[in-house]
Amino acid sequence: MYITDEDNPRLPFLRDKTSKLTTSPGCYIMKDKMKKIIYIGKAKNLRNRVTSYFRKGQDHLPKVWKMVSHVYDYDFIVTDSEFEALVLECSLIKQYTPKYNILLKDDKGYSYIRVTNEEYPRLQAVLQKYDDGAEYIGPYTSSFAVKQAVIEANKVFMLPTCTRKFPQDFRKQRPCLNMHIKQCMGVCTGKFSKEEYNTIVRQAVDYIRNGSSDSVERLTEEMNKAAEELDFELAAKLRDRIQAIQKAAESQKIINDNIKDTDIIAVAHNGEMACASVIMYRGGRLFDKASYFLGENDDGVKMREDFLMQYYSSKDSIPKDILLDEDITNGEIIEKFLRQKYDHAVNISTPKRGQFLRLTTLAKSNATEYL
C-alpha cells in the first residue's frame, strides 16, 4: 500500500525533519497527534531507516501503512552502536508497549496427565485436577505437550484408548481394529491380569516421567532378570516393549535424548494476522509449547527478530540453542544481547535438513493451527 500526503498531511513536515536526521545508529519513537507513542524502532542508520517510512511512493505492508498514517511527529535517541540501539529498543518497548509493536499474548493454561482410578487404569490428558482418587502428573503449562505425551505412551505400551470398561466388558465384543494393527494389547480379550496390566501402566508412567533412555535401561534389567529366572514369556514381552520404545524414539518428536535444551520457533500468517509458536525441549523431552499472536502481518525477518527480543527479555532463563524456521538478518547481534543477559552462550540457527528441520515444521504447524 502506498502512503500519500492525503493519507497523512504531516508527511511533508516529517520528510523535511528526517532530511536533517543523523546517520548514526539509534532508536526512533513515533507519536500520534495526542503525543502518544505508537511505535518504537531501531536503526543502524537513523536517517535511512526513518526516511523509508515517509518517502513518496513508498510501498508499505498494511500494518506499516496504518502506523505511518497516524504519525504526527517522532523523537529519536542516538546510540554508539547498532547493538546499543537493539538493547534500548527492547527496553523502550517494554516501558511504553506501543500499539504497533509486537505485544505478546500467549495461550497459557494448565494441563495434567491423569492415571484413572480403576482396576485397569487409563492414561488421559486433562485440563483440571479433580478430587476423584486418580493419580495426577503435573501441572504442565502446555496442553499440547501433555496430549502428545499421552498419545505416545499409549501407543508405545499398547494401552487401550476405547470406551470399554474393564473387567466388566471382557470378551463381550470382538477386539477392535486397534488390536489387529498392534496399537492395543487387547485387554478386552481378558488375557491380561490386573497385576500384569498395572505393571505395564507403571512402565508407561515411568516413560512419561523419565524418557526413553531410562525406560529402556530399567526394562532391560527386568528382561534379564526374567530370563535368568527362566520366565521366557515375560522376557519376550519386555523385549518387544523395549523395541517399541526404541522404534518410537527414532521417529517421534516428544522424547528425544539427542535434543537437550532447545527452543524451536516458527512464525505463520494468513495474509492479515501473524502468530509465533515456541516448542521447548528440556532434558531431552518436549517440555512445553506456547503460541503468541503477533498482530497484523509484517516483514517476516523483522517479526522474527522482534519476537526473539521481546520473548526472551522477560524470561528467567534461556536454552543454549534456538532454532528458527527462517533466517534473520541480525542474528549475531541478538545472540550477543542474549549472551550478556543470561551469562552463557546462545546459538541461533535455521536448520535446513534432518530432525531439526522437522521440528521447525512442527512449530510452524502449531502456529498455523493457533492462528
Choose the final residue of a domain: 35, 67, 96: 96
DSSP state letters, 295-363: EE---HHHHHHHHHHHHHHT-S---SEEEESS--SSHHHHHHHHHHHHTS--EEE---SHHHHHHHHHH
CB neighbours of 324 closer than 8 A, spacing ≥ 6? 265, 266, 304, 348, 349, 350, 360
The pLDDT-based confidence of 58 (bands split at 50, 70, 90) is confident
Question: What is the pLDDT, as a whole number, of residue 105?
Answer: 59
Judge if 163 and 271 occupy the same domain: no
Question: What is the pLDDT, as a whole number, of residue 254?
Answer: 58
CA separation, residue 282 to residues 215, 220, 267, 289 (Å): 17, 25, 21, 11
Judge whether 138 lies within some domain. yes
Cα separation, 21 vs 12, whole angstroms:
15
Cell reading at 340: 550478556
Q: In this prediction, what percent of the chain has a pLDDT beyond 70?
A: 93
Question: What is the pLDDT, as a whole number, of residue 75?
Answer: 96
Question: What is the pLDDT, as a whole number, of residue 333?
Answer: 94
Cα separation, 149 vs 43, whole angstroms:
44
The pLDDT-based confidence of 271 (bands split at 50, 70, 90) is confident
Question: What is the pLDDT, as a whole number, of residue 139?
Answer: 75
Cα separation, 329 vs 336, whole angstroms:
14
Choose the final residue of a domain: 96, 119, 144: 96
Judge if 174 and 271 occupy the same domain: no
Query: Structural domain tally of the chain?
Result: 3
Judge whether 6 lies within some domain. no
Main-chain phi, psi angles of 101, to 5 degrees: -90, 160
CB neighbours of 147 closer than 8 A, spacing ≥ 6? 111, 125
Judge if 130 and 243 occupy the same domain: yes
Containing structural domain, residue 40: 11-96
- The CATH number covering residue 313 comes to 3.30.420.340
Query: Cell match 499421552: residue?
Result: 150
Judge if 85 and 44 occupy the same domain: yes
Over residues 190-240, the pLDDT tens digits come to 988 999 899 999 888 888 776 666 777 888 888 998 899 898 888 888 888
Judge if 61 and 145 occupy the same domain: no
Judge whether 4 lies within some domain. no
Average the pLDDT over 23-47 and give the result: 96
CB neighbours of 163 closer than 8 A, spacing ≥ 6? none
Judge if 83 and 191 occupy the same domain: no
The pLDDT-based confidence of 256 (bands split at 50, 70, 90) is low
Instruction: Say which DSSP state 188 is in.
Output: G
Averaged pLDDT score across all residues of the chain: 87
Average the pLDDT over 20-42 and give the result: 96
The pLDDT-based confidence of 106 (bands split at 50, 70, 90) is low
Task: Determine contact, residues 318/295, Cβ cutoff 8 Å.
Answer: no
Question: What is the pLDDT, as a whole number, of residue 257?
Answer: 63
Judge whether 3 lies within some domain. no
Judge if 115 and 247 occupy the same domain: yes
Judge if 127 and 226 occupy the same domain: yes
CA separation, residue 197 to residues 176, 286, 361, 366 (Å): 18, 27, 37, 34
Per-residue pLDDT for 104 more than 70? yes
Task: Provide the Cα torsion 370, 106, 125, 250; round to 10°.
Answer: 70
More confident residue, 210 or 69: 69
Cell reading at 342: 543470561
Task: Determine contact, residues 79/45, Cβ cutoff 8 Å.
Answer: no
Residue type for 39, please?
Answer: Y
Q: In this prediction, what percent of the chain has a pLDDT beyond 90?
A: 44
Question: What is the pLDDT, as a whole number, of residue 211?
Answer: 65
Average the pLDDT over 42-57 and give the result: 93
Provide the whole-model pTM.
0.59
Instruction: Say which DSSP state 174 is in.
Output: -
Question: What is the pLDDT, as a whole number, of residue 249?
Answer: 56
Question: What is the pLDDT, as a whole number, of residue 332?
Answer: 95
Judge whether 106 lies within some domain. no
Q: Apex CA 275: angle with CA 334 and CA 255, to 5°?
A: 80
The pLDDT-based confidence of 265 (bands split at 50, 70, 90) is very high
Judge whether 312 lies within some domain. yes
b/e burial code for range 267-292 (CB count within 10 A of at least 16 → b): bbbeeeebbbbbbbbeebbbbbbbbb
More confident residue, 238 or 85: 85
CA separation, residue 236 to residues 40, 183, 184, 222 (Å): 64, 18, 17, 11
Residue type for 28, please?
Answer: Y
The pLDDT-based confidence of 147 (bands split at 50, 70, 90) is confident
Judge whether 132 lies within some domain. yes
Question: What is the pLDDT, as a whole number, of residue 348?
Answer: 97
Per-residue pLDDT for 108 more than 80? no
Average the pLDDT over 93-106 and give the result: 82
Per-residue pLDDT for 250 more than 80? no
Q: How far apart are the first and last CA of the chain?
A: 24
Judge if 236 and 296 occupy the same domain: no
The pLDDT-based confidence of 81 (bands split at 50, 70, 90) is very high
Over residues 323-344, the pLDDT tens digits come to 999 999 999 999 999 999 999 9
More confident residue, 255 or 269: 269
The packing angle between helices 194-210 and 143-156, to 10°, is 140
Which of 78, 70, 3, 86 lies closest to 32, judged by CA?
Answer: 70
Task: Provide the Cα torsion 299, 305, 311, 316; round to 10°.
Answer: 180
Judge if 126 and 48 occupy the same domain: no
Choose the final residue of a domain: 96, 120, 147: 96
Judge if 247 and 266 occupy the same domain: no
Cell reading at 339: 549472551
